[in-house]
Amino acid sequence: MEQSKKNIDIIQQWDINNTWALFLDRDGVVNRRRIGSYIMMVDEFEFLPGVLQSFATADKIFSKIIIVTNQQGIGKGLMDENSLNQIHDFMISKVKENHGRIDKVYFSPYLANSNHLMRKPNTGMAIAATKDFPKIRFKHSVMIGDSATDMEFARTLGMKAVFVGMPEEMDVSKELFDVAYPSFFDFIKDLNAIVVNL
């Protein structure tokens, strides 16, 4: 079976409705990654193609839309929480201007080698989201990410795991995700077609 048809079949079986939550990684999903560096100011934050439109579509499908992002640039002392909050205010307001919605952004400032509960692949940021939004059910949640840590985070929590990008390039094995798409935009396009046809 053709891959795109396979993806649609898998997503159809999830039976997504408007009680579901969408979790998204930030760098490489919402905005362009800076390889080997961090987004340290608003000027460096560039939405990936189709992302703003995708948030507008996701707004109609999901009850909650949550960003979970590792930002160890803070732990390294390369940037401060204040600049990160400015970047997130910018992101949230641009999404809103384009008829989308981000309900909340959770970030982890801890270093990769800390193995901190609040840093993906550990589940702390998702647990925090359920404290703020008690109706969230992980088995009725989709996690979109571009790295193995995102997919492990989804797997541990029992979320549906959507990989975006090139799994081979990011060294992510196929067992770690349910479906792979080139981008957030491509996934939302398929999902929207399925939901509309229900």
Question: Which positions touch Mg ion (CB under 5 A)?
Answer: 25, 27-28, 146
Select 40 or 140, whichever has its Cβ closest to Mg ion.
40
DSSP-based three-state secondary structure for 46: coil
25 is catalytic: yes
Select 125 or 140, whichever has its Cβ closest to Mg ion.
125
Least gap, CB of 167 to Mg ion (angstroms): 13
Q: Are 79 and 37 spatial neighbours (Cβ–Cβ below 8 Å)?
A: no
Least gap, CB of 147 to Mg ion (angstroms): 5
Q: Which of 56, 106, 114, 99 shows the shortest CA–CA distance to 85?
A: 106
CA separation for the pair 125, 160 (Å, rounded)? 16
Q: Angle of helix 81-97 relative to helix 51-61, nearest 10 degrees? A: 70
Which amino acid is it at 124? G
Select 146 or 152, whichever has its Cβ closest to Mg ion.
146
- Given 9, 15, 25, 146, the catalytic residue: 25
132 is catalytic: no
Active site residues: 25, 27
